[in-house]
Structure 1
Amino acid sequence: MAAFTGKGEPSPRLLTPQNSMLLLIDHQPQMAFASHSIDVQLLINNVTGLAKSAKIFNVPVVFTTVAAKSFSGPLFATVQEVFPDKEPIDRTTMNSWEDQKLVEAVKQTDRKKLVMAALWTEVCLATASLSALDAGFEVYIVTDASAGVTAEAHEMAIQRMIQAGAVPVTWLQVLLEWQRDWARQETYNAVMNVAKEHAGGYGLGINYAKSMLGEHASEAQRELGK
């Protein structure tokens, strides 16, 4: 076995801001009303945190809605506020990958790793992710920023996608994988702010460390990130 000579190279399986893009599908009121695999307020929190994460790292983002004006309503307001000038691609197909505008928008990002979340998991996420996999993309499904009509529907869809080659992740995992190194000061404070706003107990820990440790809080915050 060769001797270790220095810092190891990161796995190409890992997400970086340079190799991935974010696709958010149908996070709309009408779709959320029937989503019962996760608390709706928690869902909104997670999707918003994911959108803010992408903005921090300048990760390309594509939004899509289905029948926004006639049935499903607009994109979640908290998500649209993160990217106020980005217009969602509205369509009629349940499988967003069958909409040419969306496929072209994804291809224009020139990224092969697709981070995807959708309502509902068993329909809009499953059909799009399976289609993207067959089109040669690497698909990372954000399970806690997606929801199904039942817990069983959500879980069976997740299993189906995993069997096809999709990689399950959570929104906070994506944020921290994009950051990767706490020495990256250009994004450090923004990541901490998103964590404090949306990461539950982890965010509480960051605030606690700051209030209890004062000037030593930065070091403690880095420890919390391990």
Structure 2
Amino acid sequence: MKKLLLFAVIGIASFSAYSQKPSPMLLSPTNHTLILIDYEGQMAFPTKSIAIDQLRNNTAIVAGASKIFKVPTVVTTVAEKSFSGPVFPELEEFYPKKTSGYIDRSTMNSWEDAQFYKAVVGKGKKTLVMGGLWTSVCIVGPVLSAISEGYDVYVITDASGDLTKEAHEMAVARMVQAGAHPITSMQYLLELQRDWARQETYLPVNDLVVKYGGAYGIGVQYSREMVKH
């Protein structure tokens, strides 16, 4: 009986120790570089796979999350002055152009732009997270190129969009078949937080959710107010 009890205690201790190790496939603030691609007016006008107001909110959640958790981030635009225009206000809020150094390019595949490639490699991370416009062109290109060079790539599907729903979905399917991991904007934010005991980011994360998190944000706002009573 004593031996069985001892084995049980050892088993519980071993399971507890094992269960505390998160999967290496989970994103953390220090294990990846975030790449935000072409969140610009001209790219958003014909985007139909997602409502633009929802796309803007999701973009804000991603950009805000990366700022809160100090994730290395690269922001790139395409033909900003001659065609595509400025980035979304929600992106500018967290990454002002004057201080963030956007990389403007002419290539549809940003991976083929020397300045962009140098910026990504310079971050020193082998895991990349990407989102932007359009999914089937400016996201597929760098995702497939990065995977070919041995990077582990995640695509934020609801912070990306395309001309049609089919174009977006087929692009996501193509990237997943090549080895990319699809995630969503809120998943990205909460995966970085991971533990509500992380007090240094608890309030900023919830403030971001209240401002841009839709129904979830309204719930947080409601809870904050009603707890007082």
* TM-score normalised per structure 2: 0.91
Partners of 1:61 and 1:80 lie apart in 2 by 13
> Which one has the bigger helix percentage?
2
Name the CA shift for 1:188/1:31 in 2 (closer, same or farther; >3 Å). same
Q: Does 1:199 align with 2:213?
A: yes
* Aligned residue in 2 for 1:74: 86
Which of these residues, 149, 153, 159, is aligned with residue 163 of structure 2?
149
| Superimposed CA distance per residue, residues 76-106 of structure 1 (whole angstroms, 9 cap, x where no aligned partner) | 1221121221021001100000011111111
Which of these residues, 139, 144, 148, is aligned with residue 153 of structure 2?
139
Aligned-pair identity (%): 50
Question: Per the alignment, in what secondary structure is the counterpart of residue 12 of structure 1?
Answer: coil
* Aligned residue in 1 for 2:38: 26
**Which moves more between the two structures, 104-113 or 179-188?**
104-113
Partners of 1:92 and 1:99 lie apart in 2 by 8
* Aligned residue in 2 for 1:223: none
| Offset of residue 209 of structure 1 | 1.1
For the aligned residue pairs, the C-alpha RMSD in angstroms reads 1.4
After superposing on structure 2, the runs of 4+ consecutive aligned residues of structure 1 that deviate more than 4 Å are none
**Which moves more between the two structures, 198-207 or 164-173?**
198-207
* Aligned residue in 2 for 1:220: none
| Superimposed CA distance per residue, residues 134-158 of structure 1 (whole angstroms, 9 cap, x where no aligned partner) | 1111111000100010000000000
Which of these residues, 166, 176, 182, is aligned with residue 190 of structure 2?
176
Question: Per the alignment, in what secondary structure is the counterpart of residue 100 of structure 2?
Answer: coil
| Offset of residue 68 of structure 1 | 0.5
Structure 1: runs of 5+ lacking an equivalent = 216-226
The letter for the 1-side match of 2:78 is V
Partners of 2:220 and 2:86 lie apart in 1 by 33
Q: Does 1:57 align with 2:69?
A: yes
The letter for the 2-side match of 1:83 is Y
| Superimposed CA distance per residue, residues 62-85 of structure 1 (whole angstroms, 9 cap, x where no aligned partner) | 000111011111221221121221
| Superimposed CA distance per residue, residues 140-198 of structure 1 (whole angstroms, 9 cap, x where no aligned partner) | 10001000100000000000000000000001100000000110101000000011111
Tell me which structure has the larger Cα radius of gyration: 2
* Aligned residue in 1 for 2:3: none
Question: Per the alignment, in what secondary structure is the counterpart of residue 168 of structure 1?
Answer: strand
Q: How many pairs are equivalent?
A: 215
Structure 2: runs of 5+ lacking an equivalent = 1-6
